Amino acid sequence: MAELTYLQAISDGLRGEMRRDKRVFVIGEDVGVYGGAFKVTLGFQEEFGPWRVLDAPLAETAIVAGCTGAAIMGMRPVAEMQFADFISCGWDHLVTVAAKQFYRAGTPVPIVVRLPSGGGFSGGPFHSQNPESSFAHIPGIKIACPATPEDAKGLLISAIEDPNPVLYFEHKHLYRRIKAEVPEERYATPFGKARVHREGDDITLVTWGAMVYTSEEAAAQLDDDGVSVEILDLRTIVPWDREAVLESAKKTSKVMVLHEDTRTGGFGAEIAATIAEEAFEHLDAPVKRLAAPDTPVPFSPPLEKAFIPQVDDVVAGLRELAEY
């Protein structure tokens, strides 16, 4: 075991796969000489050479298209978008070509797109989004959203192994803030298997990514009220662990779904609908959703704080559920 930050765990997992499999290569803006916008690939070009750590032009469409073609020819590309927001430039190749190629011709497209996402550092509307729900609707794409350093490494390895296109959302606010023990050996964290971050009996809180830690702080405050909150970290939202969510909902009878993405059409709505369909008779309160409002991410620090769900918002929502 080694104590690693969230960022170091991503770097460690990626480096290990590149050493193990020569088909794995990295491409993106400034990933080579500069070592990546957030330094995930620092030193990679020196170790693997410029043909496996490729500095690309400012052309996300070309990056995703090139990765798709390389994957069809048997390579396993890992693309880095400097910010998750920029994936919109590659929408057509990702959604129209990569996601549908297997259905069209039976051809695997094992590409991973690393997406530094989320707010909390006043990046404004073009560098702070969590656009996971936009892609959760697209058949053929898988989506991972690790919250811990251990999962950051294990889910990345699973993503690289997977024969499908995988969007790997890594929350920027966690990069150097979260540190934990991570196994040094190679391991893969399975997709579609939620993790019980905190056990509880009275309310289930379903979340992923950085909101896991917001949930943790809020749940600790509810302990003082004698309310026991169970936190489920989904880890991946495509596929997502329906069985774990439904089992916890049936146990506690009250559920909150929390995410940093905006509310309307957010993935929390899919979870809430599934619980309503399949566990309605076990509920003692309506499923509660807590998410960002339907606006672009503000640049102003006070406005951004008002936009992103905060600990106090979660505490208030949990107390409302507890009193229902």
> Residue 287's pLDDT is what?
98
Catalytic site residue 127? yes
> Residue 234's pLDDT is what?
98
d(CA 215, CA 220): 9
The amino acid present at 128, given as its one-letter code, is S
Q: How confident is the model at residue 41 (pLDDT cuts 50, 70, 90)?
A: very high
**Tokens 């032009």 appear where?**
57
d(CA 83, CA 150): 22
pLDDT in tens, 185-241: 999 999 999 999 999 999 999 999 999 999 999 999 999 999 999 999 999 999 999
> Residue 102's pLDDT is what?
96
Which member of 127, 171, 173, 197 is catalytic? Answer: 127
Q: What does the DSSP 8-state code read for residue 286? A: P
Tokens of 85: 């927001």
> Residue 289's pLDDT is what?
97
Q: What is the percentage of the chain residues whose pLDDT exceeds 70?
A: 100
Q: Is the pTM of this model over 0.85?
A: yes
- Is the omega angle on the peptide bond into residue 239 within 30 degrees of 0, that is, cis? yes
d(CA 312, CA 314): 5
Tokens of 141: 């794409």
> Residue 229's pLDDT is what?
98
d(CA 258, CA 170): 17
> Residue 256's pLDDT is what?
98
pLDDT in tens, 72-123: 999 999 999 999 999 999 999 999 999 999 999 999 999 999 999 999 989 9
> Residue 6's pLDDT is what?
98
**Average pLDDT rounded to a whole number, residues 287-305:** 97
> Residue 240's pLDDT is what?
98
> Residue 129's pLDDT is what?
95
pLDDT in tens, 237-264: 999 999 999 999 999 999 999 999 999 9
Domains and CATH numbers, the chain: 2-182 (3.40.50.970), 195-323 (3.40.50.920)
